[in-house]
A = this chain, B = another copy of it.
Amino acid sequence: MSEPAEISPLTLSRLPLYLRCLRQLQEKGTTHVSSSQLAQQFELSASLIRKDLAQFGEFGIRGTGYRVDELVDRLNGLLGLDRIHKMAVVGMGSLGSALARYLSVNDRPFKIVAAFDVDGGRVGSKLGHLIVHHSREIPEVIPETGARIAVLAVPASAAQKCYEDLTDSGIEAVLNFAPIRLKRNPAVRTKSVDFQIYLEELAYFLRS
């Protein structure tokens, strides 16, 4: 079809999934894969996968399927995973530290370039070869480091303030883990991950 006008959010959420699966196939040496093979990997319908992929041009080969290498490259480019993404982590409590470790490993193109906290015991300490800054230094340090993504792992009471400091400092995307509904800056892509709410959703199914 035409060029990526605007990917629908649900399609977008599946692309990284496809990509992950394709990389596994790539490592196994598989060169081609059909939509129905992909479909049974995840629990999705083959036609949905085809529709998702067809939005970015026709790179399937009828009768054969998709070339794994080509699809990986294309999706990587589409998602912007062919560049390095610099991230800042705010809040170095147990969750923030775990996330820092968790998100920067692997061959992923996400690198942590700054860390912040307000706790005197943690400010100045080391995260790998990074120094933990005080959160009040966000406005200076963020532009210096060039971070564009921030991971927010502070207590709910501090989250809104930190969020605003970050967005004011030029951060363009935020992944929030504080259990609070942020008042969003519309210019900044903001995604919230709220464990408490997930648990409460699960609890609903256990009211037997």
Binary B-proximity of A177-193 (CB < 8 A = 1, otherwise 0): 00101001000010101
Q: How far apart sit A154 and B104, CA to CA, in the bound complex (Å)?
A: 17
Q: Using A95-B98, A97-B98, A98-B94 as known contacts, say yes or no to A16 and B207 having CB atoms under 8 A apart.
A: no
User: Across the interface, do B207 and A80 meet the contact criterion of CB distance under 8 Å?
Assistant: yes
Query: A175 contacts which of B83, B181, B198 (Cβ < 8 Å)?
Result: B198
User: Across the interface, do B206 and A198 meet the contact criterion of CB distance under 8 Å?
Assistant: no
Q: Using A94-B94, A94-B101 as known contacts, say yes or no to A199 and B175 having CB atoms under 8 A apart.
A: yes
25 A-B contacts, Cβ less than 8 Å apart? A13-B201, A15-B200, A16-B201, A19-B200, A20-B181, A20-B196, A21-B181, A78-B207, A79-B201, A79-B203, A80-B203, A80-B206, A85-B199, A85-B203, A94-B98, A94-B102, A149-B199, A149-B202, A172-B206, A173-B203, A173-B206, A189-B202, A189-B206, A191-B202, A193-B195
Known: A16-B200, A98-B98. 14 other contacts (CB 8 A): A15-B200, A15-B204, A17-B197, A79-B200, A80-B207, A85-B203, A94-B94, A94-B101, A95-B99, A95-B101, A175-B195, A189-B205, A189-B206, A193-B195
